[in-house]
Amino acid sequence: MYLYETHLPVTDTRASQAFYTQIVGLSFAYRDPKRDIAFLWIGEYRRSMLGLWGTQFGRAAQKSHFAIAVSLPELLIAGKRLNDLRVATRNFKNERTTEPSVIGGMPSAQLHFDDLDGHLLEFIALLDDDPNAEFIGSFSEWEASCQAH
C-alpha cells in the first residue's frame, strides 16, 4: 500500500502550483479552474497526487503537514537548494539549518519547510542503519554515532 493522494487548502492555487512545481519539484497533473483546484503528481507519474484547493469558495485554511519520501542523496542537497530559492529549512527541533535531522527510532533523516500558506512540508529519507530510539540529532551526528559502533 501507499498513500495515493492528499489535499491542502491554499489561498492562491496558481501561486501554490508554482511553488510546488518550481520549488518542491512536483509535476503538474490537472487544473480545474471552475472549482479552483490544481492537482500535482508526487514522484512517479500517477503514483501519488497532491490536490491544492483554493480557499475562495469558503474552505477553511487549516494548517496541515505531509512528508515526501526522497533518496538520501536528494535530501542531503535539498537544504541548500531550498535556501538558495529563499525557502527556510528547519530540523526536527524547529531550528534553522540546511542539514537534515535524524530520528533514530525508525531511523529516518528529514528536513522541514513551509509552503506559501504555512503548511509544514517534510522531505524524508528512511535510513538502513539499526534503530536507536534514544537518538534525535543532526545527520552528521548520526553518521558519527553509526561509525563508532
Q: Express each pLDDT in 96-119 by its tens digit.
A: 999 999 999 999 999 999 999 999
- The model's confidence at residue 46, banded by pLDDT at 50, 70 and 90, is confident
Give me the phi and psi of 57, to 5 degrees please: -100, 25
| Positions of CATH 3.10.180.10 in the chain | 1-62, 63-149
Q: What is the pTM of this model?
A: 0.87
1-62 CATH fold: 2,3-Dihydroxybiphenyl 1,2-Dioxygenase; domain 1 (3.10.180)
- The model's confidence at residue 59, banded by pLDDT at 50, 70 and 90, is low
CA distance 111 to 96: 10
Choices 3.10.180.10, 3.40.50.2300, 3.40.30.10, 3.50.50.60: CATH for 63-149: 3.10.180.10
* Residue 58 in this model has a pLDDT that exceeds 60: no
CA distance 45 to 64: 24
- Average pLDDT on 64-80 reads 95
pLDDT of residue 45: 82
- Burial grade of 121 (CB within 10 A; 0-12, 13-18, 19 or more): buried
